[in-house]
Structure 1
């Protein structure tokens, strides 16, 4: 079911399906909830799945000059309130969605039963990376989204996916191109100022699953395995034949990791 939720001055688009314990899917940058299309129905066979379009992405509006990761987390909490979901949720976020997961833990930990961190990082941008994000924000505002897929796809998808699954590359390209430059720029600026959360990791006391694509060059498996080891009891799974976009590149393997993790804890 598709929902249009009016929260304050912002209209959020949310897709829900299924019954069972709630599982929130938060997309990466610069995408929308459709990046989870291949796993949505399989996960909804066992869970109430809630896939959101973040502020400024997909069919959600709420444009700002900058959207910190804290604001995205507060938005997700408000969406859960609007949907009358009082039960604690499993929060799954990929890349930027993982940065939002850290803020959910910091600001709304009473809402969380578990976390699933997909292809993401615990460290902050260094000054060179932060400057590049701010420049990229200016570029999309002045030139639009047309050049973004060319620059991003080699980093988002493994070489095998790009060559063997052209339909995935096509879907990802189309998803990027339909994003509003205002939302993209605001998120870039927000990511540029996100904190290093490594000091938080030993304090995380809810079940956590860390998933990395075998060929991820943005958040490499060794880096993700390293921060997973700092979270008490965290599980780490490396997904074969995938880069940064595990839910699109190897959805079957993602579900094979996620469903037992959620089921074992119920």
Structure 2
């Protein structure tokens, strides 16, 4: 479905009925990265997966897309969908950066939190410099120059070597993404604050998931996040890299299922 909020039209997958599960995609992807989760959980829950502004089929490309801006968008999307009850928010990578902002700014809108393959710290200076360079270059050349290198970092070696369809699917999504949206989000991630000090204030049940072979956010990184959140469960997905929900969907779905069942009242 399409939702127009102010000057932006959002494409939002909205399926099923029941308690709302909100899925927030990573960079520079769209809602389709959650296909296996949407199909699995729409049978028992209301699943909502938007394309963030500028990505996928959503409009609203900006010069800089801050993580707080994306969190504000999610709040407006929920309001436009007349969802008033607290939601379970599940975010991967950049979606996790957005989740920290949402949890801090809209705690009353959150019933549970799931973060996959993400960080709470700000960028290191080398990472920040790389993002700024990417933002500048992608506007001139498009995403072709970085897509292959990025895929190698996103997926485990086994996923790449077996020519898993999710790799080509992800390649196509990246190549179709508006270069301005990529640049704006890269600048937004480079400017994001360190959210580590906010983790101890998260009081909702939280599930922290990490691919065992993640090169971007390591198991140790994610374990530290789980240790700082008072009511967090930590799970490692064997055989997966940064894109655990796409690489090992059955394993991830099982863990989310048990988590949701254990926190249902």
Q: CA deviation at 1:18?
A: 1.2
After superposition, what is the alpha-carbon deviation per residue over 1:131-178, rounded to whole angstroms, capped at 9, x for unaligned?
Answer: 210110011100011122212011000000011243121111111111
Does the alignment pair 1:243 with 2:241?
A: yes
**Which stretch of the first structure deviates more once superposed, 128-137 or 77-86?**
128-137
| Residue of 198, 203, 209 corresponding to 2:196 | 198
Q: CA deviation at 1:241?
A: 1.1
How far, CA to CA, are the matches of 1:263 and 1:20 in structure 2? 13
1:39 aligned partner: 37
Q: CA deviation at 1:183?
A: 0.6
Q: CA deviation at 1:247?
A: 1.3
Does the alignment pair 1:126 with 2:124?
A: yes
**Kept in 2: contact 1:148–1:176 (CA 8 A):** no
Deviation beyond 6 Å, 4+ runs, structure 1: none
| Residue of 139, 144, 147 corresponding to 1:146 | 144
**Kept in 2: contact 1:26–1:94 (CA 8 A):** yes
Alignment TM-score, normalising by the size of structure 1 = 0.97
2:262 aligned partner: 264
Could you say what secondary structure the match of 1:229 adopts?
A: helix
2:229 aligned partner: 231
How far, CA to CA, are the matches of 1:207 and 1:233 in structure 2? 5
How far, CA to CA, are the matches of 2:193 and 2:228 in structure 1? 17
2:51 aligned partner: 53
1:167-178 to structure 2, matched below 5 A, reads 167-178=165-176
Does the alignment pair 1:76 with 2:43?
A: no
Could you say what secondary structure the match of 1:147 adopts?
A: helix
Count how many residue pairs are aligned between Structure 1 and Structure 2: 264
| Residue of 57, 61, 64 corresponding to 1:63 | 61
How far, CA to CA, are the matches of 2:24 and 2:198 in structure 1? 21
| Residue of 19, 22, 34 corresponding to 1:21 | 19
How far, CA to CA, are the matches of 1:137 and 1:209 in structure 2? 32
1:213-228 to structure 2, matched below 5 A, reads 213-228=211-226
How far, CA to CA, are the matches of 1:112 and 1:174 in structure 2? 33
What are structure 2's unaligned runs of at least 5 residues? none
What are structure 1's unaligned runs of at least 5 residues? none
How far, CA to CA, are the matches of 1:233 and 1:144 in structure 2? 42
How far, CA to CA, are the matches of 2:261 and 2:209 in structure 1? 17
Q: CA deviation at 1:109?
A: 1.1
| Residue of 197, 207, 210 corresponding to 2:208 | 210
How far, CA to CA, are the matches of 1:5 and 1:40 in structure 2? 19
Q: CA deviation at 1:40?
A: 1.2
Alignment TM-score, normalising by the size of structure 2 = 0.98
